[in-house]
Amino acid sequence: MIQKPKGTYDVYGNKGETFIALENVMKALMEKYNYEYVRTPLFESSELFHRGVGETTDIVSKETYDFKDRGDRNMTLRPEGTAGVVRSYVENKMYGNATIPVKTWYYGPMYRYERPQSGRFREFYQFGVEVFGSESPILDAEVISIPVNFYKLLGLKGLKVHINTLGDIESRTNYREALINYFKPHIDTLCEDCKSRFEKNPLRILDCKVDHDLDIMKNAPKIVDYLNEESKAHYESVKKYLEALHIEYIEDPNLVRGLDYYTHTVFEVEASVEGFGSQNVLCGGGRYNGLVEAIGGPATPGVGFAMGLERLLTALEYEHVDLTMNNGIDVYVIPMDNGLEYSIALTNDLRMCGFSTDIDSMSRKLSSNFKQADKLHSKFIILVGEEEVKTNILTVKNNHTKEEYKVKIEDIVDFLDEKLSDDCGCEECNHEN
Ligand code: ATP
Ligand code: MG
Residue having the nearest C-alpha atom to atom 2 of ligand 1: 281
Band (433; pLDDT cuts 50, 70, 90): very low
Highest mean pLDDT among 146-155, 318-327, 422-431: 146-155
Q: How far apart are CA 201 and CA 258, in angstroms?
A: 7
| pLDDT at 186 (0 to 100) | 87
Task: Encode pLDDT of 252-269 as tens digits.
Answer: 998 987 676 789 999 999
282 lines ligand 1 (CB under 6 A): yes
Band (134; pLDDT cuts 50, 70, 90): very high
Q: Which of 344, 334, 328 is nearest to 370 (CA)?
A: 334
162 lines ligand 1 (CB under 6 A): no
Classify residue 7 by burial, with Cβ atoms within 10 Å: 0-12, 13-18, 19+: middle
| pLDDT at 326 (0 to 100) | 74
- Ligand 2 centroid from CA 120, angstroms: 8
126 lines ligand 1 (CB under 6 A): yes
Task: Encode pLDDT of 161-215 as tens digits.
Answer: 999 999 999 999 999 999 999 999 988 888 888 888 888 888 888 888 787 777 8
335 lines ligand 1 (CB under 6 A): no
- Ligand 2 centroid from CA 279, angstroms: 10
| pLDDT at 432 (0 to 100) | 47
| pLDDT at 365 (0 to 100) | 96
Q: How far apart are CA 425 and CA 431, in angstroms?
A: 10
Please give the residue that has the higher pLDDT: either 304 or 210.
304
What is the torsional sign of CA 108, 112, 113, 115?
negative
| pLDDT at 188 (0 to 100) | 87
| pLDDT at 145 (0 to 100) | 98
| pLDDT at 204 (0 to 100) | 84
Ligand in closest contact with the CA of 266: 1
- Ligand 1 centroid from CA 308, angstroms: 6
| pLDDT at 212 (0 to 100) | 74
Q: Determine which of 93-97, 211-215, 285-289 has the lowest per-residue pLDDT on average.
A: 211-215
Mutate to test the pocket of ligand 1, among 120, 254, 282 (most ligand atoms within 8 A of CB): 120
Please give the residue that has the higher pLDDT: either 213 or 135.
135
Q: How far apart are CA 19 and CA 362, in angstroms?
A: 30
Q: Are 403 and 379 in contact (CB under 8 A)?
A: no
Q: Determine which of 81-90, 208-217, 274-283, 361-370 has the lowest per-residue pLDDT on average.
A: 208-217
| pLDDT at 40 (0 to 100) | 98
Cα Dmax for the chain = 94
Q: Determine which of 43-47, 140-144, 211-215, 299-303 has the lowest per-residue pLDDT on average.
A: 211-215
Please give the residue that has the higher pLDDT: either 27 or 189.
27
- Ligand 2 centroid from CA 399, angstroms: 51
120 lines ligand 1 (CB under 6 A): yes
Q: How far apart are CA 415 and CA 61, in angstroms?
A: 63
Mutate to test the pocket of ligand 1, among 307, 311, 312, 316 (most ligand atoms within 8 A of CB): 311
| Nearest-atom index, ligand 1, CA of 257 | 6
Q: Are 163 and 253 in contact (CB under 8 A)?
A: no
| pLDDT at 426 (0 to 100) | 65
Coil, helix or strand at residue 229: helix
281 lines ligand 1 (CB under 6 A): yes
Q: Which of 237, 228, 25, 27 is nearest to 142 (CA)?
A: 237
- Ligand 1 centroid from CA 377, angstroms: 39
Q: Are 432 and 420 in contact (CB under 8 A)?
A: no
Mean pLDDT score, 300-307? 97
Q: Determine which of 151-155, 235-239, 261-265, 307-311 has the lowest per-residue pLDDT on average.
A: 261-265
259 lines ligand 1 (CB under 6 A): no
| pLDDT at 279 (0 to 100) | 84
309 lines ligand 1 (CB under 6 A): no
Ligand in closest contact with the CA of 122: 1
Band (388; pLDDT cuts 50, 70, 90): very high
Mean pLDDT score, 401-414? 97
| pLDDT at 154 (0 to 100) | 96
At position 207, the amino acid (one-letter code) is: D
Residue having the nearest C-alpha atom to atom 16 of ligand 1: 308
Ligand in closest contact with the CA of 285: 1
How far is CA 338 from each of CA 152, 176, 397, rounded to the nearest angstrom?
53, 81, 20
Task: Encode pLDDT of 55-87 as tens digits.
Answer: 878 888 889 999 999 999 999 999 999 999 999
Ligand in closest contact with the CA of 83: 1
Q: What stretch of H or E contains 283?
A: strand 281-287
Q: How far apart are CA 112 and CA 306, in angstroms?
A: 15
307 lines ligand 1 (CB under 6 A): yes
| pLDDT at 355 (0 to 100) | 98
Summary mean pLDDT of the chain: 93
284 lines ligand 1 (CB under 6 A): yes
Residue having the nearest C-alpha atom to atom 12 of ligand 1: 284
Coil, helix or strand at residue 64: coil
Long-range contact set of residues 229-232: C-beta below 8 Å, sequence gap at least 24: 230/168, 231/165, 231/167, 231/168, 231/170, 231/171, 231/264
Report whether pLDDT(431) > 60.
no
> What number of residues does the chain have?
433
| pLDDT at 424 (0 to 100) | 62
